[in-house]
Amino acid sequence: MIIIDWLAVWGVTQAVGFTFKPIFEELAKDVVKDWAKDLLKCIPKNISQQLKKEDIEIAAGKALKEFLELMQQELEDADIEEIELKQYTKILKNFISNPFIRETLGYPFQSDCQFLDYQALSRTWYEMNLPNLPQKFDWERLTKRYVKKVKAIIRESDKLRSLLDSQTLEELSKNLQKIAGVPTDFDLHRYQEGLYERYGNLKLDSLDTTGYAYNELKLWRMFIAQNVREVHQVLPQVHELPKEHFKKLRDANQIEAEILLEELEGYRRVYFEQPIVSVLDIINNPVYKYIVILGDPGSGKSTLLQFLALNWAETPLNNIISQPIPLLIELRTYIRRRENNECSNFLEFFHKCSGIVHHLNQNQLHEHLKTGNALVMFDGLDEVFELGKREDVITDIHRFTNVYPHVRVIVTSRVIGYKPQRLRDAEFRHFMLQDLEAEQIQDFIIRWHELTFHDEEDKLRKRERLHRAIDTSKSIAELAGNPLLLTMMAILNRNQELPRDRATLYEQASRVLLHQWDVERALVEDSRLDPKTIDYKDKQAMLRQVAYHMQTSAKGLTGNLISVNDLEKILIRYLKNIEFEYPTKVARVMINQLRTRNFMLCFLGADYYAFVHRTFLEYFCAWEFVWQFKETQTLSIKELNNEVFEKHWRYETWHEVLRLITGMIEPRFVCEILEYLMAQNGEAEKFINLFLAAKCLAEVRNRLLVTTTANKLLHRLKELTKYDLGYYYQPYRDEEETKLVQEIRTKAVTSVATTWKDDADTLVWLKQLANADEHEDVRRTSVQELARSFRDHVDTLVWLKQRAIADNDWTVRQVALQELARNFKDDLEILPMLQQRATTDENEYVRQAAVQELARGFKDKPDILHWLKQRVTADNSGTVRQVAVQELARSFKDDLETLVWLKQRTTDNDWTVRQVAVQELARGFKDDLDTLFILKQCAITDENEYVRQAAVQELARVFKDDADTFFILQQCAISDKYSGVRQTAVEELARGFKEEPEILPWLKQRTTADNDQYVRRAAMQELARGFKDDPDTLLILQQRAIADQYSDVRRAAVQELARGFKNYPDTLLILKQRATTDDNEYVRRTALQELAKNFTNDLDILPILKKHATSDKYADVRQAAVQELARRFKNDPETLVILKKRATVDKSSNVRQVAVQELARGFKDQLDLFEVFYTCAINDPFTREYSFQDNPRQVALEAITEQYPHYPQTLPLLRDRAANDPDEQVRDLAKKKLAELG
């Protein structure tokens, strides 16, 4: 009976042909209770308290019935058949169960609600992954009808109508009282309540919060005090421009004439030299009486002032008698009230103007201001658009400070467009808000998830996901420093995965910055722009075309540079297409708005613009390609591959654009892109094509749709973890080759671990690599990726602990300890494990890592400081002892005992401890009175040369301006008994005291006067690099290259001549002479290398190299000549002949080995090389004396197995060498290759 009564009351029973009646049968049982709660939110408490529970439930049910009837009407009008219509019952039940939808449908019960946000309903339907609605379905029409239906429900209900009418009468009465001139009181309790109500909750109106109600998120619980730097010269060029833009513009003679580059860089240097301090420290310091806080849009200027007001409002009045009253004046509101003649000054504004949180009697307020009992805050000077009115406001502020000289004042403004002079004349100090630091971002994320998530597991998962997105995506990290954009990330992260769904973030961010940010703050667009005609979508379209031009233009500075002429052309063309009047005039207004209001473009000077954030440049460029592909269909998938991916996959600056494209198109097209990338030969580019393909795959939301292609890519990447070069090289000794191979292998491990982190097989694979791979770099990376990508897996912590203690490879133990300390710090076993490894591990680098992690991650533990001091004396490794001193000095700098202890260490018996103590004193405690004295003593009297050397360096770099430093350095450069100290002193004098008039002649003297060759060499190198333009420098270098008795000095002179004086006519002649006639083989070798590198086109160079490759009596010279021939003159027909001959007949095994290596490296396509390698592998006469030597037979065998694995002679050769080669290393290699080839 109850169910039938409810259905009747709601009008469901009487509704003919109503398809969704089953929903109400469910609601009648229990769901209506939730609906009623949501409805109550929309009615003022003084009204809802007078309504019975049944009244609310009746109104709720009727409203819901009207909404679902209108849904049915829209579906039927869209030609949905009755059978199909019934299928929507379950869908709609799910839709109205969403708390956001329930709350939204209750809004029309508010007296001032005239329309609903139909886009919010549409968005929620899409985000809930409900079936697509018919094309004819119209949310806007539905919501208009629904609002009218609810208003009818109110009118038809005696109780609702009478109560809402009484609310209207009460509001009318209040207005009449105001008109009648009811006296304004000075009620600070009510003022506190007004501040709390206005500013208590975090303002998220301009952001899309669909899916969750953040209504109760309190501002003071989320507020993070940002840092500031003081600004002495507020110039847009200083705060708007990257340094590299200036260098490019200067080179093109395009820098603005009124500000010299050097002067501008001076301003920037002064700005960045200002200390970074908390903004609250500035505000709480009475020295700063008048303050201007500058910042970008969304940087937290208004939030700061609101926090200061709330801080006062949250404190009981009896506790804050002595605290000044915060008066927060939003200047955009003030100027409108003044224009409407509601007030003529700030006191009248508080006394009687609408929009104030609570009126305060101006006479009493005047008395408080006279005594200085107020903190007056003027928010948003930049939001007074008209320059004349802005000048009036500044005049009002200046006059206000003159009338009330005891009051502290804060003004906020955006930096672009701000003119500082008048407020500076009024003694205002200027401070720039800094982007959030990494620690502040982390603090924000933790607080946000604590306050907005109730499910513990969901909270931790979403929090870590956002942390990881910021850590791994450079584009997202660039935006995260802005509080507004970071808040958007946190909101979006609830229902979408970053960084994969970052295109959605960028779209929402651009929408807020281009439109809603100003609209929500009640700002009026420029009067020359019709907001009905140009909205944020038009601005987005224009920016897509601007970004496309920047990235595809050859003129752009790494893609982020556009001339004002090109910018205007793009905007004018767009405006003409939408038939806009006066497009040129409007385009210029648009450019100014995109720069000064929308925070999208910045002005570089010399009529050039750039995107403020490269992130938006990349996003809009990608969106333009997708627009052409999907919307206008002027770009096919074939053209997308050939014209976009083909041209740009090699360049990492384009990768973010390419990845965004794949995230915005259908998976079937992504498959074609991935296949295309895999088909490219990317070895010369370090397989960047495959790594890009993996990143593009990560953008695909549903991986099941691309399974076959994804598996193919996975196989290719796993193969790369075993990548090696096709020729022999000595790991670590051949640095270039080692670095290249390690980079490719480790990137492959990381790529698989991150792209397939949700695949259980990946975890197994990583463990196998970490346990058994033959390459330590692969093992290390596998441990790192396992710890980071599979941190939450149940086995990871236990497995890492085992690796940290028991792995045979010290590099694995080291990285396992580091990952445990950084990712599992809260586990109770980690601290004792680190202490144990720091004292007992047999490897000093493992102990060193453990000491570092303890000092950095566990400094708050009570015994760590004492424990670190013990390691300084107890460890038998100088490296570990030094690290312990370093970490103690840095991590415990504020401990009162640290400085005293560090000073004592400068006289320690252990020279390694003294050395690092000197360095840490100078770097961390330079202001202590004893530090300079200790350094001077150590530089002159310490018995160890390395301690003296360290003291000399720190004196020169930290205490350059001390009167004694110059003299001490000169003394050490001349009289120290150790050449290393003298050399260091010479270098520091030349670099740090270059402007001193006596340095140049003194340096010249040291090139000949010092008895030590290394000091003379250092003096000569510093002359060549720091005083190149002095006329004597070239002459000195030439003399030293020819006549110095020491070969090291001659060799260094040859290098400096070749590199710094290449174009001087005598340089080439001297190098040729040194290459052919110098009696020292190392000088000849260096001269040959510099000739080959810097004078390749000279006709004499090739014959000289050929001669020395074949006939120089020293093997080192022949070896260098062979390498230069192979790498720089590969195409000369005699080069291959010479290399073959050197590989087989040279009497030096080193020359033979290098010749074989260069043949394998540079001549892979030569068919007859197999015979050369085969002959070397069998017949080379090398006999091993030391384990580190390179055996030509081994190098030849490596080349055969890499380049000719399928030749019929290869396997028999390997079997023969495995059994018969006299060198054990060759036998081991042959056995290994036999196992690989099967």
Q: What is the mean pLDDT of each run of 10 residues along the chain (1238 residues)?
A: 61 75 74 54 62 77 87 86 85 85 82 74 84 86 87 78 57 48 74 87 66 68 88 65 42 42 61 84 91 87 91 73 83 86 88 85 87 91 82 90 92 84 89 90 89 84 87 82 85 80 80 58 46 72 89 63 88 85 83 78 75 83 92 92 91 89 93 95 94 94 91 96 84 86 96 92 94 91 92 90 92 94 92 94 95 92 90 91 94 91 94 95 93 95 95 94 93 91 94 91 89 90 93 94 93 94 93 94 95 94 95 94 95 94 95 95 85 95 91 94 91 95 95 87
Measure Cα distances from 171 to 150, 178, 333 in Å.
22, 11, 22
Q: Which two tokens stand for residue 616?
A: 């938006």
- β 429-433/608-611 pair status: unpaired
Q: pLDDT at position 249, please?
A: 42
Using CA atoms, how far apart are residues 1047 and 631, in angstroms rounded to an integer?
A: 70
CB atoms within 10 A of CB 880: 25
Q: pLDDT at position 135, please?
A: 82
- β 227-231/608-611 pair status: unpaired
Using CA atoms, how far apart are residues 1194 and 114, in angstroms rounded to an integer?
A: 86
- Backbone φ, ψ for residue 125 (5° rounding): -55, -45
User: Total domain count for the chain?
Assistant: 7
Q: According to DSSP H, which parts of 684-790 are helical?
A: 688-697, 707-720, 735-755, 760-772, 776-789
Using CA atoms, how far apart are residues 579 and 1156, in angstroms rounded to an integer?
A: 71
Q: Are residues 202 and 340 in the same domain?
A: yes
CA angle 1216, 1218, 1222 (to 5 degrees): 90
Q: Are 79 and 134 in contact (CB under 8 A)?
A: yes
User: Quick one: 769 exposed, middle or buried, by C-beta within 10 A (0-12, 13-18, 19+)?
Assistant: buried
Q: Are 167 and 43 in contact (CB under 8 A)?
A: no
Q: Are residues 84 and 210 in the same domain?
A: no
Q: Are 103 and 36 in contact (CB under 8 A)?
A: no
Q: Which of 702, 720, 738 is at the close of a domain?
A: 720
Please check whether residue 241 lies inside any domain of the structure.
no
User: Quick one: 306 exposed, middle or buried, by C-beta within 10 A (0-12, 13-18, 19+)?
Assistant: buried
Q: Are residues 672 and 705 in the same domain?
A: yes
Using CA atoms, how far apart are residues 144 and 1026, in angstroms rounded to an integer?
A: 76
Using CA atoms, how far apart are residues 1141 and 1139, in angstroms rounded to an integer?
A: 5
Q: pLDDT at position 1196, please?
A: 95
Please check whether residue 427 lies inside any domain of the structure.
yes
Instruction: Spell out the long-range contacts of 159-163 with Cβ–Cβ below 8 A and sequence spacing 24 or more.
Output: 159/51, 159/52, 159/55, 160/51, 160/55, 160/59, 160/109, 163/47, 163/50, 163/51
Using CA atoms, how far apart are residues 289 and 410, in angstroms rounded to an integer?
A: 8
**Is the backbone peptide bond immediately before 1212 cis, with ω within 30 degrees of 0?**
no
Please check whether residue 1230 lies inside any domain of the structure.
no
Q: Are residues 876 and 901 in the same domain?
A: no
Here the CATH number for the domain that contains residue 318 is 3.40.50.300
Which residues make Cβ contacts (< 8 Å) with residue 591, sequence separation at least 6?
A: 564, 567, 568, 571, 601, 609
Which residues make Cβ contacts (< 8 Å) with residue 890, sequence separation at least 6?
A: 855, 920, 924
Q: Are 97 and 130 in contact (CB under 8 A)?
A: no
Q: CA nearest 296: which of 26, 569, 485?
A: 485
Provide the 3-class DSSP secondary structure of residue 360: coil
Q: pLDDT at position 49, please?
A: 64
Here the CATH number for the domain that contains residue 987 is 1.25.10
Q: Are 868 and 851 in contact (CB under 8 A)?
A: yes
Q: pLDDT at position 703, please?
A: 87
The helix (run of H) or strand (run of E) holding residue 605 is: strand 601-605
Q: Are residues 424 and 327 in the same domain?
A: yes
Q: Are 914 and 944 in contact (CB under 8 A)?
A: yes
User: Quick one: 380 exposed, middle or buried, by C-beta within 10 A (0-12, 13-18, 19+)?
Assistant: buried
Using CA atoms, how far apart are residues 1102 and 1128, in angstroms rounded to an integer?
A: 9
Q: Are residues 867 and 901 in the same domain?
A: no
Q: Are residues 147 and 212 in the same domain?
A: no
Please check whether residue 588 lies inside any domain of the structure.
no
- Backbone φ, ψ for residue 98 (5° rounding): -65, 125
Q: Are residues 1050 and 1019 in the same domain?
A: yes
Q: Are residues 425 and 304 in the same domain?
A: yes
Using CA atoms, how far apart are residues 298 and 292, in angstroms rounded to an integer?
A: 16
Which residues make Cβ contacts (< 8 Å) with residue 1233, sequence separation at least 6?
A: 1197, 1201, 1214
Using CA atoms, how far apart are residues 412 and 1112, in angstroms rounded to an integer?
A: 75
Provide the 3-class DSSP secondary structure of residue 946: helix
Q: Are residues 928 and 882 in the same domain?
A: no
- The CA-based dihedral angle spanning residues 285, 286, 288, 289, taken in that order and rounded to the nearest 10 degrees: 150
Q: Are residues 989 and 1021 in the same domain?
A: no
Provide the 3-class DSSP secondary structure of residue 379: strand
Measure Cα distances from 872 to 818, 876, 882, 908 in Å.
21, 9, 7, 10
Please check whether residue 351 lies inside any domain of the structure.
yes
Please check whether residue 1079 lies inside any domain of the structure.
yes
The helix (run of H) or strand (run of E) holding residue 378 is: strand 374-379
Q: Are residues 800 and 784 in the same domain?
A: no
Please check whether residue 968 lies inside any domain of the structure.
yes
Q: Which of 720, 740, 767 is at the close of a domain?
A: 720
Please check whether residue 883 lies inside any domain of the structure.
yes
Q: Which of 890, 913, 931 is at the close of a domain?
A: 890
Range of 820's domain? Answer: 794-890
Using CA atoms, how far apart are residues 600 and 614, in angstroms rounded to an integer?
A: 10
CB atoms within 10 A of CB 1011: 8
Provide the 3-class DSSP secondary structure of residue 1060: helix
